[in-house]
A and B are shown apart, each in its own frame.
Chain A
């Protein structure tokens, strides 16, 4: 066990995967000579050469499609897209090719592709660099959507995704790259599709993912002072969702707050609420509640941006209200 940053954990995972399997390569904007937009790939060019750490032009659609083509033809590409906003230029390739080729070909052509991208607001980057669109991608059958919150997951999920025969998208919250945590390189990773109970509790379940896991843990500490024992679950995988862990927690606490970095309308939190309604309605002792990003394009000014994003105090407020209702 060693303390490391989230950034170093992702880099170590790519390094290890490339050392272990010659088919793995990294491709994206600024990944090589620049060292990675978020410095994730710093040093990898020197180690693996420009045949395997490939700088691309600002052509998101085509280099993502090229990743799909390389995956179809025997490679194990990792495509890095600088931010989720730019992934919209590649949405055609992700949706119409990566997600559909296996099905449309009647099972003949699978796409073992990994796409990593930064997501999330909080760095005053304005509306075109700050959104959290992972919930949109989680809508699409054929894709798997991972959202590592911890340093351990940041490392493990790259390896898990590369072992998967289907396209896996990994959303790394940009604010987490400097976060530190314990990394055990030999730990047996949790499977794709398994959520993790980060903190056990009996009074209310807080379901979330990514950076909001830490906001939820902070909220749980405040709630403890109010005498409320919150359970915090890191969903980890937005598609598939771990219904089993979600429903088991609700059967214990009977109350739920969902924290989603996306917008409330048509969001992942809406999907989770619908599933709870379908599968665990009679376990509920109070209306379900959620904390989402305000329905605005993320503003630049810090006070406005902070107000728009889910924060620990709003989670506390939502949890108190939910528990109080019963």
Chain B
């Protein structure tokens, strides 16, 4: 990948947008404007940014409950995501989903699933439908290392490989399944090796390096479109924050978190840009200011948005046409 100054600015801005957006979420959560579970993506920004760079608008994405970053970069929109967290009608799921269930048809963002591994079978079906209709699209299934312990992970990999489906499996291996470290839950902690056992082309990449992820994802998408076979990417990453806002984080040492922060995605990228002599060309203040405006606008939008009228409570249980 030729890293132009435009691309460098784009990647840096996008990673910083996720970071600042979520820092604002923490504030709003503490102020009780946002409720429910809130799973933060801070530390993992490079994965969303690198991955989304490789996708076209025809591709479909199924993500997990830690999906603010994916949704933001996919273009769901900071305003509608923030309004969703506020439970407002202008939210991307009309206030019915919340932080864990962001949906957006126009950007082909199919959630936001809070059942670990539950989106994987859907990805199999989405890709099957594309294959049956001869559409050259990719379905991306994003999941964490915790999902690997679920039967659906194994069933889905088996079917994707068996039926030669155009799926990009992206495992965000942040080392912890909720609060339990991977070595306590998996006999094989190199997750890409599990995928290889299903005859899926699999690769482990540095999940802290946005360039590495962008390159691997672009290559994977190309392979999938050429071969109509699945590809598996394991992105080694780390979440700097707790599993959710309710997590006292007693299961890991502060020292470990500190070490990972030193190789965080923004730090790594800054270093790379310095090596390439591009860092000085980035106007960081301007980038920060632009992001601040985006987030402020999103908060204002969410604050001012209406609540769904109570008489609409039972809407969308069944489709309008079949609602008696």
Contact = CB atoms under 8 A, between A and B. Distances in A.
Interface of A: 25, 51-52, 56-57, 59, 61-75, 77, 92-93, 96-97, 101-110, 141-142, 144, 164-166, 192-193, 240
Contact of B126 (A69, A108, A141): A69
Contacts of B162: 57
Contacts of B130: 73
A238 B141 CA distance: 35
Interface in B147-198: 151-152, 155-156, 158-159, 162
Contacts of B91: 106
B103 A92 contact: no
Given A104-B103, A106-B103, A166 B122 contact: no
B129 A74 contact: yes
A189 B132 CA distance: 30
A67 B103 CA distance: 19
A65 B125 contact: yes
14 contacts: A59-B158, A62-B155, A62-B159, A63-B155, A64-B121, A66-B159, A74-B129, A102-B318, A105-B101, A105-B105, A106-B316, A108-B104, A165-B319, A166-B319
Contact of A69 (B97, B128, B151): B128
B248 interface: no
A62 B132 contact: no
A75 B96 contact: no
Contact of A142 (B111, B152, B318): B318
B60 interface: yes
Nearest to B121: A65
Given A59-B155, A109-B110, A69 B125 contact: yes
Contacts of B113: 97
Determine which residue in B132, B139, B152 has the highest number of CB atoms from chain A within 10 A of its CB, and name it: B132
A192 to B, nearest CB: 8
Contacts of B93: 104-106, 108
Given A97-B113, A109-B103, 10 more contacts: A52-B132, A59-B158, A62-B120, A67-B125, A70-B129, A75-B132, A97-B122, A106-B103, A108-B103, A166-B322
B42 to A, nearest CB: 25
A107 B121 contact: no
Interface in B59-105: 60, 91-97, 101, 103-105
A102 B113 CA distance: 13
Contacts of B95: 106
Contacts of A75: 128-129, 132-133
B317 interface: yes
Contacts of B101: 104-105
Chain B interface size range = 35 or more
Contacts of B97: 104-106
A146 B133 CA distance: 29
Contact of A107 (B124, B315, B322): B315
A102 B118 contact: no
A102 B156 contact: no
A211 B184 CA distance: 50
B324 interface: yes
Contact of B124 (A51, A66, A106, A110): A66
Determine which residue in A51, A71, A75, A144 has the highest number of CB atoms from chain B within 10 A of its CB, and name it: A75
Contacts, number: 150
B115 interface: yes
A138 to B, nearest CB: 14
Interface string B132-149: 110000010000000000
Contacts of A103: 96, 316-317
B118 A97 contact: yes
A65 B315 CA distance: 24
A68 B121 contact: yes
Contacts of A144: 318
Given A69-B125, A106-B96, A164 B322 contact: yes
A144 B127 CA distance: 26
A-B pairs with lowest CB-CB distance, top 5: A65-B121, A69-B125, A106-B94, A62-B155, A66-B125
Interface string B106-122: 00001111010010111
B323 to A, nearest CB: 10
B136 to A, nearest CB: 14
A291 to B, nearest CB: 30
B55 interface: no
B123 interface: yes
A57 B72 CA distance: 37
B128 to A, nearest CB: 5
Contact of A73 (B60, B152, B319): B60
B158 A57 contact: yes
A309 B92 CA distance: 49
Given A72-B110, A106-B316, A166-B319, A62 B156 contact: yes
Determine which residue in B96, B127, B320 has the highest number of CB atoms from chain A within 10 A of its CB, and name it: B96
A56 B129 CA distance: 15
A68 B316 contact: no
B321 interface: yes
Determine which residue in A62, A74, A141 has the highest number of CB atoms from chain B within 10 A of its CB, and name it: A62
B155 A25 contact: no
